[in-house]
Amino acid sequence: MFIRDFEIGDIDQIVEILRLNNQYDFPEVDGPEAMKRLKQCSAVVFLVCEIDNKVVGVVKGTYDGSRAMIHQLSVHPHYQRQGIGTALVKEIVKRFQRRGASTVSATVTEESLPFWQKAGFKKTKAFLVGNW
């Protein structure tokens, strides 16, 4: 298992993982063009996990100089429950801490709560999302 920074050549494999996990409802937010923009943004940490030259997981988030937030985590269904999600979260938390973050938040689904709690996150107040 190898965790590294996202590269443009990873886009198709990431889209496939997001589709398989039903996390691709908003291509304008998560699709190829958005990924290319993220690559240019210095606040972003965008990592992939590779096994045998294949991208099997992705995590991305931002640190704005004050708050660090994980926006997306996805592991290919064939590779789940092998510690990849945990490894990706540990690495992005390490990257945020190196930049100066003292806490890390995550936007999560109800179903994935057991994973996040095992990874050391505690549930707090809910978020609202504008959809104009």
Ligand X SMILES: CC(C)(COP(=O)(O)OP(=O)(O)OC[C@H]1O[C@@H](n2cnc3c(N)ncnc32)[C@H](O)[C@@H]1OP(=O)(O)O)[C@@H](O)C(=O)NCCC(=O)NCCS
69 contacts ligand X (rule: CB under 6 A)? no
118 contacts ligand X (rule: CB under 6 A)? yes
Question: With contact defined as beta carbons under 8 Å apart, do 3 and 88 qualify?
Answer: yes
Which whole-number Å values give the CA distances from 48 to 3, 16, 89, 107, in the listed order?
6, 13, 11, 18
Which residue, judged by CB position, is nearest to ligand X in the bound state? 85
Segment interacting with ligand X (CB under 6 A) among 3-11, 73-81, 90-98, 124-132:
73-81
Residues 9-68 that bind ligand X (CB under 6 A): 21, 23
Answer left, alpha or beta for residue 85, where phi above 0 means left and psi between -120 and 50 means alpha.
alpha
- Which member of 75, 92, 93, 101 binds ligand X (CB under 6 A)? 75
Q: What is the C-alpha separation between 54 and 86, in angstroms, rounded? A: 18
End-to-end CA separation in angstroms for the chain: 40
In the complex with ligand X, which residue's Cβ is closer, 65 or 111? 111
φ, ψ of residue 18 to 5 degrees: the values are -65, -40
- Which member of 82, 90, 97, 99 binds ligand X (CB under 6 A)? 82
105 contacts ligand X (rule: CB under 6 A)? no
- Which member of 81, 122, 123, 125 binds ligand X (CB under 6 A)? 81
Question: Would you tell me which residues interact with ligand X (CB under 6 A)?
Answer: 21, 23, 73-75, 80-86, 108-109, 112, 114-115, 118
